[in-house]
């Protein structure tokens, strides 16, 4: 059985992060080990004042125990970090636990809708670039791509410019593959995949609304399919279709968008 280490936060309410990725990866037949970066009472998207517990002091101890156990990770995924100070910690953990055949995926989970998430310092994107160079595959959204490429995410950027930024980010990160989600294309949504210097696109319908946790679900399905032997472009298409089905189920049930996607029924079927 393939094993992935998920370095991400634990969101106690409002489905996101580890609470989404663990069940999805498990349902795909992937063993999921955890290394939590922070404990949050809820996600930061409209659920009031969030109680946070920074787990930086515990992370290296957990990683050290994994090293003692001689655990092999087929993939390491890095998502939400608790701020600038944690970047170096995660960098060291990757050095400790990564082996020659370990795939490293990173979602620069820090921003959406043109702005940084609450709690992040303005220089976080610049600091994060050092860590992203250790990844083989990056999964930013449009806002994150702009911030990482020193572009104003609040200005309208056409597809040609986004395409240029994809190549720039890949070049700055040692030729890493880049999966860009959340691109609007004539009333539909586009996911772009840059791999081996070739960019391909997958377009699907857009459902109006702001749905939390899409990125974590998307990443889980991409990683699960890659570990099951699928090519990256096929894994991305499957992930996009899965998230779309989860959104449709959420709308059908009339669930409060802030609470997260109704993915449980979808993975059950």
> How many whole angstroms from its chain centre is CA 29?
20
Per-run averaged pLDDT (10 residues), the chain, 269 residues: 97 93 97 96 83 94 98 97 95 97 97 87 95 98 95 83 93 97 82 94 83 91 98 95 93 88 86
Q: How far is 23 from 265, CA to CA, in rounded Å?
A: 12
The residue among 191, 211, 188, 207 whose CA lies nearest residue 199 is 191
pLDDT of residue 269: 63
Q: Are strands 115-116 and 111-112 parallel, antiparallel or unpaired?
A: antiparallel
Burial of 206 (0-12, 13-18, 19+ CB in 10 A): middle
Give the number of other CB atoms < 10 A from CB of residue 155: 9
Give the Å distances, CA to CA, from 84 to 87, 89, 127, 129, 176: 6, 10, 7, 11, 22
| pLDDT value of residue 189 | 86
Give DSSP secondary structure letters for 97-112. H--TT-EEEE---SEE
**CA atoms in the 13 A half-sphere facing the CB of 131:** 28
The pLDDT score that the predictor gives to residue 185 is 75
Closest CA to 209 of 258, 144, 139, 155: 258
Structure tokens at 106: 């990173």
pLDDT computed for residue 43 by the predictor? 82
**CA angle centred on 82, ends 78 and 84, rounded to 5°:** 95
């Amino acid at each position: 059985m393939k094993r992935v280490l998920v370095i991400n936060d634990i969101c106690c309410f409002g489905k996101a992060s580890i609470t989404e990725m663990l069940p999805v990866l498990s349902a795909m037949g992937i063993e999921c080990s955890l290394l939590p970066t922070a404990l949050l009472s809820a996600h930061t998207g409209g659920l009031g004042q969030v109680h946070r517990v920074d787990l930086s002091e515990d992370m290296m101890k957990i990683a050290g125990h994994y090293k003692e156990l001689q655990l092999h990770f087929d993939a390491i995924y890095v998502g939400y970090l608790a701020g600038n100070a944690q970047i170096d910690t995660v960098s060291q953990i990757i050095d400790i636990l990564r082996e020659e055949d370990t795939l490293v995926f990173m979602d620069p989970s820090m921003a959406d809708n043109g702005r940084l998430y609450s709690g992040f310092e303005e220089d976080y994107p610049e600091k994060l670039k050092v860590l992203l160079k250790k990844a083989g595959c990056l999964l930013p959204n449009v806002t994150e791509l702009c911030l990482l490429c020193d572009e104003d995410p609040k200005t309208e950027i056409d597809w040609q410019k986004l395409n240029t930024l994809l190549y720039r980010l890949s070049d700055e990160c040692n030729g890493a593959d880049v999966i860009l989600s959340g691109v609007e294309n004539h009333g539909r949504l586009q996911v772009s995949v840059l791999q081996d210097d070739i960019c391909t696109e997958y377009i699907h319908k857009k459902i109006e609304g702001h749905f939390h946790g899409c990125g974590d679900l998307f990443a889980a399905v991409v990683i699960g399919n890659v570990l099951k032997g699928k090519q990256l472009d096929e894994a991305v298409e499957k992930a996009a279709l899965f998230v779309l089905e989860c959104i449709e189920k959420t709308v059908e049930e009339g669930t409060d968008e802030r609470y997260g996607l109704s993915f449980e029924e979808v993975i059950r079927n």
